[in-house]
Structure 1
Amino acid sequence: MTNQAFQVQDKEDRKMLNKVFWRTMTLSSTYNYERMQGLGYVYTMIPVISRYYDKEEDRIAAYKRHYELFNTTPTMGGFITGLSTSMEKEASQDKNFDTNSINAVKLSLMGPFAGIGDSIFQGSLRIISLGIGIALAAQGSILGVILHLLVYNVIAHLLRYYGVFAGYNMGTSFIQSASENGILGQITKAAGIVGLMTIGAMTCSMISFQIPAVLNIQGSELVIQEMLDQIFPNLLPLLLTFVCYKLINKNVKAIWIMLGLMVFGVIGALLGIF
């Protein structure tokens, strides 16, 4: 992807796209189950509609056009709003332009981009940044919080910002070529692999679950934890992770899982089991 994909020569267009970028921060601010991010999308597109349409009826039609169901990973919304901006500009200049295609493109992109965005940001980057932050915070360092916020937000906001400009400049050609070349699928798969590797590493290094109990068998002491480590190192943290995962899949609220773990830990400690 060349630098030209992010450059906009017209000064007024740059100002407009900067407004679009800042407004993408509100995509999920009015989230609801009827239109999801629809109202946030309309708000994001107001500078575009105001710039390209002079007639009130055209603006109202554009507002209604974007006040439809929309839902994607907010960070990935930058590219889609930039693409919508490009299409709205074309619609304002060409009376024969099919405005229905604007929503059609939005709907076709929100699913794939949500998959990619969730894999990269929710499934990978957030876990990696948390892993870095928790490791430092566990040592009592305030840098843990700072680095977590920086690692995640700097990358997320850069992608959101440049996504707006890339979508505006590249139009529909990027999606068509990416789909034909299989790039979208490769990105999703790679992000999923990295996320699973990170979760595995965090399960091993950051979940502490041991059984200090010692069994006395005919005068010989058997340390249960040492026996488990010889069979399968870090088996208990892995099993605990699987139990929590199963509970989440059964729609058990996270707060109840955390409270259950606290009670489980306190009772186990009082009984001397772990």
Structure 2
Amino acid sequence: MTCVTMNFQKNCLLLKVDNIRKERISLPNAEMTSQEKHILRQSFLKNMGLMMSTNQITSQSKAFACSMLPGLDIWYKDDPEKKKEIFARHAGEYFNTQTIMAGLISGIALAMEKQQAESGEDLSETITSVKSALMGPTAGIGDSLFNNCCRIIIASVAIGLAANGNLLGPLFFVVLFGGGTLILKYLATLIGYQQGVTFVNEAFSKGIIPIITKAATILGSLMVGALVATNCKINIVLAPTINGVSLSIQEILDGIAPGILSILLFFWVFSRIQKGSSPTKLIFLLMGICIVLAFLGIF
């Protein structure tokens, strides 16, 4: 299913890029001016609110529109009505992608908005097409590579440190994952502004993106299994005596499959979350069950 989806997104993106090329859109020079660097820094900061302003109708569009403001304030300082029109367009269009990769689309949109302002051409439909074409592929890349792979690997190390009472555990996660994602998002904004859709198009055409996405998904799944096995331990201490022989239930279960209760618990919790159950309620439910079972001498 993942391969089919990625191929569909690739074909859609290539089709959009072919249409965009017909518009003869140019990109900024590799050497950016101090003003352009300032615009990109401010755009990056405003893009930080992507998940804080999301809604059910246009999703992340409000923060995305705000990320366009640093450029619009300069390019349309003498035409406030046009600036309002462009801002309203971005704020009213549906936008939803992975937060790190959103920087890439913001950079591309800024470059295209700059060309529109300088050339006087109406590129609004083209800009909307680019955003729509990139949302799906970039979300797939970002979720697989960053959310489902890098985050899990870093979290596994941090959890191991924290489980041993080491305060470096949470700091390790915040600095490495939190700080790392900020750096990557800023770099994505720069790349998007300088390289545009060409960067994503070449990555897809060379087959790099599907390979990275699939590898990251597999590695992330392996890390989830390792996390469950090492950090979700269920030990049944109940050992009833039958005909003078102590019967260890835990040893019987380990003989069938080591860690089988941890795996079953994981899939049960996962299924409940998939059906809309609150993670917080599940945590308190499990705490209550463990307390009762420990009181009864089962755990």
> 2:242 aligns to what?
217
1:95-150 Cα offsets, whole Å, 9 max, x none, are 34532111111122122212222223322222222222221112222111110101
Residue in structure 2 matched with residue 39 of structure 1 by the alignment: 62
- 2:193 is matched with which residue? 168
Instruction: Report the counterpart of residue 181 of structure 1 in structure 2.
Output: 206
Instruction: Give distance in 1, aligned partners of 2:66 and 2:121.
Output: 26
| Equivalence for 1:61 | 85
Distance 1:33 1:62 in 2: 22
Q: Report the alpha carbon displacement of residue 7 of structure 1 after superposing the two structures with TM.
A: 5.5
Partner of 2:16: none
Stretch of structure 1 that moved more, 26-35 or 158-167: 26-35
Structure 2 portions without partners, runs of 5+ = 1-27
Residue 124 (structure 1) aligned to one of 149, 153, 158: 149
The aligned residue for residue 23 of structure 1 is 46
- Under a length normalisation based on structure 2, what TM-score does the superposition of the two structures give? 0.85
Distance in 1, matches of 2:30 and 2:165, equals 44
Q: Secondary structure at the match of 1:214?
A: coil
Cα pair distance change 1:7/1:150, threshold 3 Å: farther
Contact 1:21/1:164 (CA < 8 Å) preserved in 2?
Answer: yes
Matched residue type, 2:130: V
Partner SS for 2:240: strand
2:75 pairs with 31, 52, 60, which one?
52
More displaced, 195-204 or 128-137? 128-137
Give the distance between the partners of 1:157 and 1:202, measured in 2 at CA. Answer: 25
Q: Percent identity?
A: 33
- Residue identity matched to 1:132: V
TM-superposition CA deviations, 1:190-211 (whole Å, max 9, x none): 2211211110000000011011
In the alignment, the residues of structure 2 paired with residue 106 and residue 44 of structure 1 have an alpha-carbon distance, to the nearest angstrom, of: 14
Aligned residues: 270
**What's the secondary structure of 1:209's corresponding residue?**
coil
From 121, 124, 127, give the equivalent of 1:102. 127
Structure 2 counterpart of 1:257, from 262, 279, 282: 282
- CA–CA separation in structure 2 for the residues paired with 1:83 and 1:207: 43
Corresponding residue SS for 1:63 = helix
Helix, strand or coil for the counterpart of 1:157? helix
Q: Which moved more, 1:138-147 or 1:199-208?
A: 138-147
Show structure 1 runs of 4+ deviating over 6 A.
none
Alpha-carbon RMSD: 1.9
